[in-house]
Amino acid sequence: MNAGNLIDFFNQFASEAKCAEFIAQQRWGNEIICPKCGVVGIKAYKLASGRLKCAECRKPFTVRMGTIFEDSMIPLQKWLLAIYLCTSLKKGISSIQLARYLNVTQKTSWFMLQRIRYVFESGTFEKLKDAVEMDEAYIGGKDNNKHATKRTKYLTGKGAQGFGSKNSKTPVVGMVERGGSLHAVVTSDTGSATLMGLVRKHIDIDATVYTDEHMPYRTLPKIGYKHESVNHGVKEFVNGMASTNTAESFWSHLKRGINGIYHHVSPKHLQKYCDEYSYRWNTREMNDGERFEEWFANFNGKRLTYKTLTKKA
Ligand SMILES: [Zn+2]
């Protein structure tokens, strides 16, 4: 897609065939892999039905097979528009709004959005390096209605008791390389073992990690990381380089979005919303068309059925 506005979108994806062509190009480039027999670079014949037929195993297949579009009756144009809206709108789009735009039921649009979000979760990533801010936030729940003393019980950093219950907030740990990428991970607690596990997995050992004074971060030097902290309690927001401002601007954006657009997100699904917000944050330098295409870099082979999605965690 060119500049990537809605006019470009409808010009490019004017028909179902054009949508299928685009998806095939994103998926396979010039080397089609048969989803039935796995042979690479096959010659595929186009059948009258619009389906493809493998020259090797002689079986018919479609561009949807083995992707999140498989088993869906939704026209590809609606799928692509949903992906476009979900990747380009700064705060995302609610299933209610998407249902209206696409003329589908809310159950369908909710499922579509969950599938689209599933692709945001990138399978591989590079470790964050140089100056990395690390900070935790507590999202969702109905803690605001609780007595203050009861509320703080969940926020002690010793783990959110009642994780998974809809009345408690869910901890999310954010790690962001200044001028680079952001990773946001939903956790069951924000104790030392959990946080240091995330550090090792997401942050390069040569990085300097900037945090607030949350106790467990004091373990950072013990596992080999350079560590600088800032004390929020005394409004010491900028201790030289030691701010967590980048992480905090992401939290406020995420919280505003979740409160304003999605209202309530269950802990079970929170990671997908974090992935959606991280994706847009990490592609902030791209235009809407580029951000839309980038989504397809991850979609290959990802499939999510309604059964998997709604099963009890
Ligand atoms: Zn085949």
155-211 pLDDT, tens digit each: 444 444 445 444 578 999 999 999 889 999 999 999 999 999 999 999 999 999 999
**Token digits of residue 65:** 């097979």
Structure confidence at residue 155 (pLDDT): 47
* pLDDT of 123 strictly over 70: no
Specify the pTM.
Answer: 0.83
Domain boundaries, the chain: 131-282
pLDDT in tens, 206-253: 999 999 888 899 999 999 999 998 876 555 555 556 678 888 889 998
Question: What spacing in Å lies between the alpha carbon of 204 and ligand 1's midpoint?
Answer: 42
CA atoms of 239 and 208, how far apart (whole Å): 14
Residue 75 CA, ligand 1 centroid: distance in Å = 24
pLDDT value at position 307? Answer: 61
pLDDT value of residue 157: 42
3-state secondary structure of 40: strand
What is the strand order of the sheet 182-186 is part of? 182-186, 170-177, 131-139, 208-212, 226-230
Distance (angstroms) between ligand 1 centre and the Cα of 173 equals 44
The pLDDT of residue 161: 45
Q: What is the mean pLDDT of residues 150-155?
A: 44
DSSP 301: T
- Cα(254) to ligand 1 centroid in Å equals 44
CATH 3.20.20.330 correct for 131-282: no
How many whole angstroms from 65 Cα to the centroid of ligand 1?
A: 12
CA angle in degrees (0–180, nearest 5) for 192-196-197 = 115
C-alpha 194 – ligand 1 centre gap (Å):
45
How much is the pLDDT for 241?
64
Q: How far does residue 58's CA lie from ligand 1's centre (Å)? A: 6
Distance from residue 57's CA to the centre of ligand 1 (Å): 4
pLDDT at 40: 83
Q: What is the mean pLDDT of the chain?
A: 83
What is the Å distance from ligand 1's center to 308 Cα? Answer: 27
Cβ count near 256 (within 10 Å): 11
As a whole number, mean pLDDT of residues 10-20 equals 93
Whole-number pLDDT of residue 159:
44
